[in-house]
Amino acid sequence: MNSKLKKFYTGLLVVLICSAVLSCVPKKEIKRPSIVTPELLLQRATLKGISSLKASLQVKVYNDGDYLGVYPGSLIYKQPDLLKLSLYAPFGITVMEFLYKKGEIQIYIPAKDTLYRGDVSFRRLLPDEKKLLSLPHQLKNTKSGYLLSFYNTDEKIYPKAIYIFSENTIQWKGLELYRGDKKVLKIGINELQENLPTDFEVVTGRFRVRLFLKDIVINPELKDSLFHTGKASWVLPLRSFGGWHKEWP
């Protein structure tokens, strides 16, 4: 073996050994702040600095535990109350369009020439922090992490929403929405980019949908006219959409 080749393999060996040693060094654990307040937690559950967003995504869909398939898609969002999600089949054919617009949800299924629509109780996708904190609320530290619950009245019988955070890093881990004593929507967050969920799961009724965001563009210029669905011959109430939670309109 010539000297140059010998030096190369020696250097490579040193790099591999250093990498192995460094990988064994315990990582510094991120501790939670000494004082955890509702205000501090909500700062981690808002998209500060993001007024609009567009991204491509991959969506895995389940119904009653049955895997229905994986679909490519696209997502656009504009504060405070506009969001559109589109799913595609091969060759770019639209399978479904989901639109949240100023407190109304629309689900358009081109193959059925049908549009499902209904109002929901929340008028903003992400409530203003000050308005949210003006509601009666309660903070609990449990074995699974911090639970920040918000109520409609001071009686605190049933929560309106519960925000979930990890205990040590107080990262935002999810959100649950309730109507009365029934949970109607659950969002579980697996991965964040800053405060933006990029791998998360949505469960409502019989449906469970896991979304992976990629090719994210922050604060693009998005016109309100982009937030619409296709036209359909049949328009039905949202509760008629198969698998949708009965508590929704």
Residue 11 lies in a domain: no
Number of domains in the chain: 1
Tell me the pLDDT tens digit for each residue of 114-129. Answer: 999 988 766 666 777 8
Model confidence, pTM:
0.74
Tell me the pLDDT tens digit for each residue of 237-248. Answer: 887 876 554 444
From its phi and psi, is residue 142 left (phi > 0), alpha (psi between -120 and 50) or beta? beta
Check which CATH number belongs to the domain holding 234 and give it.
2.50.20.10
Residue 6 lies in a domain: no
The more confidently predicted of residues 151 and 179 is 151
Residue 247 lies in a domain: no
The DSSP line for 138-178 is EEEEETTEEEEEE-SSTT-SS-SEEEEE-SSS--EEEEEEE
Banded pLDDT at 41 (limits 50, 70, 90): very high
Q: Find the mean pLDDT for residues 55-81.
A: 91
pLDDT of 31: 57
Q: Mean pLDDT score of the chain, rounded to an integer? A: 81
Q: Which residues are CB-neighbours of 237 under 8 A, at least 6 positions away?
A: 116, 117, 118, 249
Residue 154 lies in a domain: yes
